[in-house]
């Protein structure tokens, strides 16, 4: 199949490809060219209610399949993804903008999550607890939570669904998914993949449209037993409040403000390599991208110079063009916001070392930018940039670096570079983050738990921990 075969202009509800009841549609644009590449249904609460009802009906039988059957279905889903990796990656680049190599990597990661959960499906163990009563036995079992509602963002339009659909399918949950409006096609493509893998109707439902109407139905409908969300902290808080009325389980992967510390004793070339990978992946549009660089006084100037030199070499352009490593930003709002961070820093005494504004290719392309002399007064000290701007702050002592790194309400990912083993342990234990990279700038993998503390979220995705979020613990007491 080629990418156009996966580009569905319809929603996937109860095994059928359907339009929105009201008939409205939403345009989808290619961020590299501004061209409209298609339209998707503008669904609302009614369609969401139908999808939830379909998922509830499907749950009755799907939750009774054996772990072995679910593992086999997930392996077929994995094969369907890998057989079409290139087509899915092209579609992803066309709607999202990231370079094709990154899209290939993302689709590969989606497949890896599915394969991982196919393996974990067979390892959802319970317990037998030694009983305090001679005539009674105590069993603990794990049962699928029920219908899961998932809302996903535009920066990883394929793999964010994999992390949610994967464990749902592994445990016997059914799901209703709303992909981001900017990038619906990679989400809808999961409907085609589920058809290919042979999933029964209603097990996975995907709808596009009004976020507030669909989100409102998902959070208020009592049939939905869990809501899983990846996106901004304000929307995450809203969904948690809405979900409180029916006491749903929640998993929230929210914003970050990742610090990246470089100590005097670090391997500087390795630190720059990690900094480039961490900062500029997806043009800086990931929640684990380094947001604040802190370089110790002894290596500050050298680090800034090397980082700027490496940043200036990154080729910017459309994601399907050969050699491009920096695609466009997702929309014009993102460009204006990124410009705002730079203007604010310059007004407060920061210095642009490389880049500094829109790229000569026009549209939504932006120059990889390094800013020296960053201070706590600048907006990017507190807010997530979500663009290709690397501010570098100076620090003197380890204690100061840790304090600055922790001085945020976020706690998703952090990174630091040192060659001192004691410092590696000391610092990693005091950083209040869900994920720590030591001498490593990109650390996400399906086998490790992804997630944050503080206002970066609740729950973990991927790994053996990720599956626990999709099962309820049941205690069974048997009197003999």
Which residues of the chain form contacts with ligand ADP (CB under 6 A)? 151-154, 178, 180-181, 211-212, 215, 231-232, 235, 238-239
Helix (H, G, I), strand (E, B) or coil at 40: strand
Minimal CA–CA distance to 449: which of 440, 458, 441? Answer: 458
Q: Residue 81 or residue 161: which is nearer to ligand ADP going by CB?
A: 161
DSSP per position, 69-85: HHHHHHHHHHHHHHHTH
For residue 144, CA distances in Å to 113, 425, 461 come to 19, 38, 16
Helix (H, G, I), strand (E, B) or coil at 140: strand
Q: Residue 157 or residue 172: which is nearer to ligand ADP going by CB?
A: 157
Q: Residue 2 or residue 212: which is nearer to ligand ADP going by CB?
A: 212
CB of 414 to ligand ADP, least distance (A): 20
| Run of H or E residues at 220 | helix 211-220
DSSP-assigned beta bridge partners for residue 25: 41
455 included as an active-site residue: no
Q: Which residues contact 214 (CB under 8 A, 6 or more apart)?
A: 43, 44, 45, 47, 48, 151, 178, 207
Decide: 274 and 258 in contact? Cβ < 8 Å. no
- Residue number of the CB atom closest to ligand ADP: 215
Minimal CA–CA distance to 248: which of 222, 229, 230? Answer: 222
CB of 152 to ligand ADP, least distance (A): 6
Q: Residue 172 or residue 187: which is nearer to ligand ADP going by CB?
A: 187
Decide: 298 and 331 in contact? Cβ < 8 Å. no
CB of 26 to ligand ADP, least distance (A): 11
Helix (H, G, I), strand (E, B) or coil at 111: helix
The pair of structure tokens assigned to 195 is: 């058809």
CB of 456 to ligand ADP, least distance (A): 13
DSSP-assigned beta bridge partners for residue 372: 351
CB of 39 to ligand ADP, least distance (A): 16
CB of 231 to ligand ADP, least distance (A): 3
The pair of structure tokens assigned to 103 is: 């899209």
CB of 57 to ligand ADP, least distance (A): 24
Decide: 69 and 120 in contact? Cβ < 8 Å. no
**Residue 222: CB atoms within 10 Å:** 12
Q: Residue 172 or residue 411: which is nearer to ligand ADP going by CB?
A: 411
CB of 214 to ligand ADP, least distance (A): 7
**Residue 429: CB atoms within 10 Å:** 9
Alpha-carbon span 444 to 462, nearest angstrom: 9
Which segments of 247-397 does DSSP mark as H helices, in order?
Answer: 268-280, 300-312, 332-347
Q: Residue 231 or residue 317: which is nearer to ligand ADP going by CB?
A: 231
The pair of structure tokens assigned to 241 is: 């409040």
Q: Residue 241 or residue 474: which is nearer to ligand ADP going by CB?
A: 241
**Residue 60: CB atoms within 10 Å:** 10
Q: Residue 218 or residue 304: which is nearer to ligand ADP going by CB?
A: 218
Catalytic residue among 253, 398, 455, 461: 253
DSSP-assigned beta bridge partners for residue 394: 295
Beta strands in 179-314 (DSSP E): 204-206, 224-230, 249-253, 258-262, 290-296
Q: What is the chain's Cα-based Rg?
A: 23
Residues marked as catalytic:
253
């Amino acid at each position: 199949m080629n990418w156009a075969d996966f580009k569905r202009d319809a929603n996937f509800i109860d095994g059928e490809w359907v339009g929105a009841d009201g008939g409205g549609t939403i345009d989808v644009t290619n961020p590299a060219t501004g061209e409209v590449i298609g339209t998707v249904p503008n669904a609302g609460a009614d369609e969401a209610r139908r999808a939830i009802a379909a998922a509830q009906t499907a749950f009755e039988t799907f939750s009774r399949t054996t772990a072995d059957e679910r593992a086999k279905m997930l392996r077929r889903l994995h094969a369907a993804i890998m057989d079409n990796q290139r087509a899915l990656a092209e579609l992803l680049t066309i709607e999202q903008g990231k370079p094709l190599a990154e899209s290939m990597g993302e689709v590969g990661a989606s497949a890896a999550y599915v394969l991982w959960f196919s393996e974990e499906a067979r390892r959802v163990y319970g317990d037998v607890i030694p009983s305090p009563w001679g005539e009674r036995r105590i069993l603990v079992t794990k049962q699928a939570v029920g219908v899961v509602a998932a809302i996903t963002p535009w920066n990883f339009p394929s793999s964010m669904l994999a992390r949610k659909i994967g464990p749902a399918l592994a445990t016997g949950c059914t799901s209703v998914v709303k992909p981001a409006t900017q990038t619906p096609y990679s989400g809808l493509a999961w409907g085609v993949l589920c058809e290919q893998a042979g999933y029964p109707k209603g097990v996975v439902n995907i709808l596009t449209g009004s976020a507030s109407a669909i989100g409102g139905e998902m959070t208020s409908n009592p049939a939905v037993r869990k809501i899983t969300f990846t996106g901004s902290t304000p929307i995450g808080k809203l969904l948690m409040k809405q979900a409180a009325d029916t006491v749903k389980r929640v998993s929230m992967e929210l914003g970050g403000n990742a610090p990246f510390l470089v100590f005097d004793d670090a391997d500087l070339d390795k630190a720059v390599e990690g900094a480039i990978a961490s900062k500029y992946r997806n043009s800086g549009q990931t929640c684990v991208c380094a947001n604040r660089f802190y370089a110790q006084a002894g290596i500050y100037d050298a680090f800034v110079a090397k980082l700027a030199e490496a940043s200036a070499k990154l080729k910017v352009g459309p994601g399907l063009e050969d050699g491009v490593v920096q695609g466009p930003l997702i929309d014009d709002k993102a460009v204006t916001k990124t410009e705002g961070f730079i203007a604010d820093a310059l007004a407060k005494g920061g210095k642009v070392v490389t880049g500094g504004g829109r790229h000569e290719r026009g549209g939504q392309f932006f120059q990889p930018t390094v800013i020296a002399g960053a201070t706590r007064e600048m907006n990017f000290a507190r807010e997530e940039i979500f663009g290709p701007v690397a501010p570098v702050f100076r620090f003197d002592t380890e204690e100061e670096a840790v304090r600055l790194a922790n001085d945020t309400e976020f706690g998703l990912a952090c990174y630091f570079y040192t060659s001192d083993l004691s410092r590696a342990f000391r610092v990693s234990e005091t950083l209040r983050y869900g994920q720590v990279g030591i001498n490593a700038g990109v650390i996400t993998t399906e086998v490790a738990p992804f997630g944050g503390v503080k206002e970066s979220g609740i729950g973990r995705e991927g790994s053996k921990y990720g599956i626990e979020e999709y099962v309820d613990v049941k205690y069974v007491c048997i009197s003999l």
